Structure 1
Amino acid sequence: MTEHQLPATCETVHLGGFSAQLKPALVIESGDRVHVETYSGFHVAAKAPPEFLTPAFETICDQLPAERRVGSGPHLLTGPIFIQRAKPTDVLEIRLEAIAPRLPIGFNAIRPGWGALPQQFAQPALRFIPLDLEQGIAEFPPNTGIRLPIQPFFGILGVATAEDRSSIPPGLYGGNIDNRQLQAGSRLFLPIFVPGALFSIGDGHAVQGDGEVDVTAIETSMNGTVQLIVRKDLMLTAPIAETATDFITMGFGNTLDFAFEQALQQMIEFLQRFIGLPAEEAYVLCSLAVNFHITQVVNSPQKGVHGLLPKSILPAMPGL
């Protein structure tokens, strides 16, 4: 296993989406570990206070080459990372080993026409919110004593597909999943669609509730350490994840009903394949023990639902 450093520069980040045509920012072998830098807030940098800006981030905002702008989304992603010998039908295992905010501040933005209540909250609003990294909390609203625990994760973890894609909606390739369960110590498994997988990462979230209802979390630049492993022993058609306490399936759709059905179907298939249950008994177990959550309702046109299967109820079984 080789250790790699992947700083965020004009040559190693891309804006707005995923593309198989992008030049890789890094080429690695399966099993290598990558220490990665990410920046968030490309489109709010001009309104940001000094503590949100670094010289490297300002250089990216001012000088990012046109060929690194590949979609309509607002997200700045680090990558893509090319993994040797990864091919379509393989699975990419992403081990999220460490995740930490780079800055003592983040932002939250309401965008007109977006969010769960776009008619009620129709005016744009941008807030920069301090992060107390020493105590691990953010106070919001200010001076209220409401203390939010910092629980950092990457909103976007995804691989490229044959078609270019915006960074806004999630999909079977991952992307803008915005699943707050994917914190340090978790694992995400993504189907691979193009040679090398072309994995990208970004959209750091310091604090987020399930739903992400106003469009954003407390978004901030984030450091992370990931190990990327090509799994030729797995076959998946949709993302699944594992934390210390749960197995997680995910569904995406234009409606919450459809996203929920997809997450449920994926959980039934998981129980059939990995636990050995018949379909009907898996369906019943989902009713008895699986907890379904709204992941996000704002990454148009795809809403997200995820199901959590507690490991504590299962007999001893090998990990994925």
Structure 2
Amino acid sequence: MSDHICSTGCNHFSHLNDPDLLAEFAEARHSLRANISGTKASGKAGLGGVTYRPLPSKKAGENVSHYYIPANKDTVHWGYFSKSMEPLVKLESGDYATMEAVTHHSFDDYERMIQGDPGVEGIFQWDANNKAIDRRGAGPMDHPVGAGGGMGVHVCTGPIYVNGAEPGDVLEVRIIDTMQRPSANPDYRGKSFGVNVAANWGLQYNNLLTEPKMREVITLYEVDATGAQTTAKAVYNYRWAPQTDPWGRAHPTIDYPGIPVDRSKIKLNYDVLKGYEIPVRPHFGMITVAPAEADMVSSNPPSYTGGNFDNWRTGKGSTCFFPVAVPGAMFSIGDPHASQGDAELCGTAIECSLTGLFQFVLHKKADLPGTKLYGLDYPLLETESELVVHGFSSPNYLKEFAGAADPAAAIKGSLDTAMTDAFNKTRRFFMDTRNLSEDEAISLISISVDFGVTQVVDGNWGVHAIIQKDIFPKK
């Protein structure tokens, strides 16, 4: 069996990890804002500031472009995926895109995470007369808590259409680099901020020791926007107090994304986690292609095409492989994090806006036999030293609960079924791509593969299997 699937550094694409592009991104980090100049891209997002430019040719007949996709009200979709959306851009295999991703928790501190940032201000604009992005979630538009019902909460940037991608293919997405989105408030220049929310969907909510019980607590963290400081520190925390949104709806709990927080109703506690330093490991909690089973799909539960699987390893230097389910793949990102632990126990990570530099490589179905991507029907993550297989309580909940009014709500989160799914996929990986017998695969799994709890908060609970690549026979 061959492992050759155009890994980083492969000469099949001479632009991979283009040094000029990497230098440009590094300079953007230093200047505290990505700003890739170019020609306005065609498609829906001409109004959204999407641009592109060709990269210098390094091989006759090779055309590679770099797209810049800012996050603003015209380039994001909030809380859902859809195979029938109009894509922001159509790009070719080998192309790059710099994509901004904004956390849906930005309004937990308007001053630090929204104020002065036109793109983010536009996304979260909501007053008595206007709501810039009305639909937030895959639910009905007349849902009592707000349009879309919060049945899906993430601010998603995209989708991107990859020319030539067809069902049965695999899309490789390389995360070349990431940078924190800096605060646009001059009072906080050089800093970035994110929040951790101990929320009502977290595992702790019905299992608290101290009063008041069933509370939701927001903790704000400060991160160095330049990346020079590699740890985050807590600034303050506060308990969620019932809020009334600009259209008069009451929210006793955090039940809808992007609710403006009335600071007069909360009390900030600055005596929190003094002296603790949290390692920063920026990543995208939600990274996905569109599923085929439904037209409007919640962004909350992960599935076979990716989505909100919340693995902190999906950061700089890693590669994600997704089974293509619809023409063009329809790729989106969201739920950016500054850091997270396995399980994401209280419901969130440090929810912190990020910008990522990605490269897209399409692998056609006919080329997959004999490679590690053969038979891929789940998101596969690769780092320099590991392959990470993702199992879920319901591997394809959209198909399993197709008759339900809300398939996402029908999922029964269970580590038993997620562990079984992770084992089944890992066994199949060794048998199908390494040509091992079932007995060999089972023995190898038991003695060398580490299983971890990816997350227990997204409805469709996850268990991942970490395969160390150095166990494979040397060529």
TM (norm. structure 1) is 0.93
User: Which amino acid is the alignment partner of residue 222 of structure 2?
Assistant: P
Once residues 140 and 50 of structure 1 are traced to their aligned partners in structure 2, the CA distance between those partners, rounded to angstroms, is: 16
User: Which amino acid is the alignment partner of residue 220 of structure 2?
Assistant: F
Map 1:301-320 to 2 at 5 A: 302-316=460-474
> How much has 1:66 moved relative to structure 2?
4.3
Name the structure with the higher strand share: 1
Once residues 57 and 315 of structure 1 are traced to their aligned partners in structure 2, the CA distance between those partners, rounded to angstroms, is: 49
Query: Which one has more relative contact order, counting CA pairs under 8 Å at least 6 apart?
Result: 1
User: Which amino acid is the alignment partner of residue 392 of structure 2?
Assistant: F
Asked whether the 8 Å contact 2:388–2:464 carries over to 1, the reply is yes
Deviation track 1:39-90 (CA, whole Å, cap 9, x = no partner) reads 1125x51x41422112210111125444786552110010000111111111
- 1:52 matched to 2:146? The reply is no
Once residues 49 and 200 of structure 1 are traced to their aligned partners in structure 2, the CA distance between those partners, rounded to angstroms, is: 25
Deviation track 1:233-278 (CA, whole Å, cap 9, x = no partner) reads 2342112121111111110103111111111111111111222211
> How much has 1:131 moved relative to structure 2?
1.2
Asked whether the 8 Å contact 2:66–2:95 carries over to 1, the reply is yes
Deviation track 1:6-28 (CA, whole Å, cap 9, x = no partner) reads 11122211000111122111211
Matched positions, count: 313
Asked whether the 8 Å contact 1:161–1:173 carries over to 2, the reply is yes
Match of 1:266 among 425, 428, 431: 425
- 1:150 matched to 2:280? The reply is yes
User: Which amino acid is the alignment partner of residue 447 of structure 2?
Assistant: L
CA change 1:69–1:115 in 2 (3 A) is closer
Map 1:178-217 to 2 at 5 A: 178-217=310-349
Asked whether the 8 Å contact 1:78–1:201 carries over to 2, the reply is yes
Once residues 171 and 279 of structure 2 are traced to their aligned partners in structure 1, the CA distance between those partners, rounded to angstroms, is: 30
Q: Which residue of 2 aligns with 1:109?
A: 197
Asked whether the 8 Å contact 1:272–1:278 carries over to 2, the reply is yes
Please give the secondary structure, in 1, of the residue aligned with 2:431: helix
Asked whether the 8 Å contact 1:96–1:227 carries over to 2, the reply is yes
Once residues 262 and 201 of structure 1 are traced to their aligned partners in structure 2, the CA distance between those partners, rounded to angstroms, is: 25
Map 1:113-192 to 2 at 5 A: 114-121=201-208, 122-132=214-224, 133-140=227-234, 142=272, 144-162=274-292, 163=294, 164-192=296-324
Q: Which residues of structure 1 form unaligned runs of 5+?
A: none
Once residues 18 and 143 of structure 1 are traced to their aligned partners in structure 2, the CA distance between those partners, rounded to angstroms, is: 37
> How much has 1:316 moved relative to structure 2?
2.9
User: Which amino acid is the alignment partner of residue 203 of structure 2?
Assistant: A
Q: Which residues of structure 2 form unaligned runs of 5+?
A: 1-63, 126-130, 140-150, 183-191, 209-213, 236-271, 369-374, 394-412
Once residues 273 and 420 of structure 2 are traced to their aligned partners in structure 1, the CA distance between those partners, rounded to angstroms, is: 42
User: Which amino acid is the alignment partner of residue 102 of structure 2?
Assistant: Y
Match of 2:381 among 235, 241, 255: 241
Match of 2:447 among 258, 275, 288: 288
Once residues 126 and 74 of structure 1 are traced to their aligned partners in structure 2, the CA distance between those partners, rounded to angstroms, is: 17
> How much has 1:140 moved relative to structure 2?
4.0
User: Which amino acid is the alignment partner of residue 223 of structure 2?
Assistant: L
Asked whether the 8 Å contact 1:116–1:213 carries over to 2, the reply is yes
Q: Greater Rg, structure 1 or structure 2?
A: 2
Match of 2:71 among 8, 18, 35: 8
CA change 1:159–1:275 in 2 (3 A) is same
Asked whether the 8 Å contact 2:101–2:156 carries over to 1, the reply is yes
Please give the secondary structure, in 2, of the residue aligned with 1:131: strand
Once residues 199 and 279 of structure 2 are traced to their aligned partners in structure 1, the CA distance between those partners, rounded to angstroms, is: 25
Once residues 8 and 307 of structure 1 are traced to their aligned partners in structure 2, the CA distance between those partners, rounded to angstroms, is: 33
- 1:83 matched to 2:83? The reply is no
Once residues 190 and 169 of structure 1 are traced to their aligned partners in structure 2, the CA distance between those partners, rounded to angstroms, is: 16
CA change 1:260–1:94 in 2 (3 A) is same
Once residues 286 and 194 of structure 1 are traced to their aligned partners in structure 2, the CA distance between those partners, rounded to angstroms, is: 32
Once residues 348 and 98 of structure 2 are traced to their aligned partners in structure 1, the CA distance between those partners, rounded to angstroms, is: 25
> How much has 1:216 moved relative to structure 2?
0.2
> How much has 1:135 moved relative to structure 2?
1.2
Q: Which residue of 2 aligns with 1:23?
A: 86
Please give the secondary structure, in 2, of the residue aligned with 1:145: coil
Once residues 67 and 32 of structure 1 are traced to their aligned partners in structure 2, the CA distance between those partners, rounded to angstroms, is: 31
Asked whether the 8 Å contact 1:19–1:70 carries over to 2, the reply is no
Q: Which moved more, 1:55-64 or 1:246-255?
A: 55-64
TM (norm. structure 2) is 0.63
Please give the secondary structure, in 2, of the residue aligned with 1:48: helix
Asked whether the 8 Å contact 2:199–2:347 carries over to 1, the reply is yes
User: Which amino acid is the alignment partner of residue 51 of structure 1?
Assistant: R
